[in-house]
Amino acid sequence: MSDEHDLSHIFKRMLSTNSKGVQMPPRENQDFTFGYGILPTSYVQLRSDHKQQGQVEGFLDKTIETFRSDAKVTWSDNLNGRYCVGRNGQCDLKLIDAAKGPMYYEDHLPIVTYDNVKTGARVVRGPGWDNNTDFDGGHGYVGTVTNVGDVQTNDDTPSRAETLKHRRVSQKRRSKVVRDTPKSDITVQWDNGNTSEYKLSKNCLRLFDNGPS
């Protein structure tokens, strides 16, 4: 009996238990990439105290609130604790020596958009990434979304006079959602400690892990 995966089958990508799913193409003839970063067996230090160094034992996945977004770390003094790696949009750790994580097919990871991203999501480079920069640590390296641009609701309800004037056009009160357009859409703290801002319109990021969604 062969233990190899069937790379020719078509499957659905599910971002959450309630999502309808998106059909993905077969994996055959596609190159895969390994994830690197703050993952089990990686060596890290506390961002708040660089003298505190240790190894990630694994991610905690027993509760929904911290699913894959808290890591257990054993420090050089043999003490251990759990630390945010995505929870509440925070990452308490900084990479010393990356671990080689799970492999992924780049085309199977969704492009980061306002509809699928939130603080705490883990991301990797997307197709629009500037290949002249390794600010993230390199191809396949992971980072944490620490801030997402605000979404504001502007009420465009017409006045009574305007309603009378334009009654033939519309009798309804109009309301629309307008996204705040900051200088950059999201902020990512890469596992190597670097932090940068990105415009989602550039398609420069893919969603690696949406954690407790």
Which domains are assigned to the chain? 11-209 (2.30.30.40)
Alpha-carbon span 135 to 138, nearest angstrom: 7
Q: Which long-range contacts (CB under 8 A, 24 or more apart) does 21-29 make?
A: 22/110, 24/107, 24/108, 25/107, 27/105, 27/108
The CA distances from residue 177 to 13, 150, 169, in Å, are: 28, 11, 21
Beta-carbon contacts of residue 63 (< 8 Å; ≥ 6 apart): none
Alpha-carbon span 120 to 105, nearest angstrom: 22
Task: Provide the token pair at 63.
Answer: 């509760």
Element (H, E) at 49: none
Q: How many residues does the chain have?
A: 213
pLDDT tens for the chain, 213 residues long, are 344 555 545 555 445 555 555 555 555 556 778 999 999 999 999 999 999 999 999 988 765 555 568 999 999 999 999 999 998 899 999 999 999 988 888 888 999 998 889 999 999 999 999 989 999 999 999 999 999 986 443 444 344 444 444 444 444 444 444 444 444 689 999 999 999 999 999 999 999 986 654
Q: Are 135 and 211 a contacting pair, CB within 8 Å?
A: no
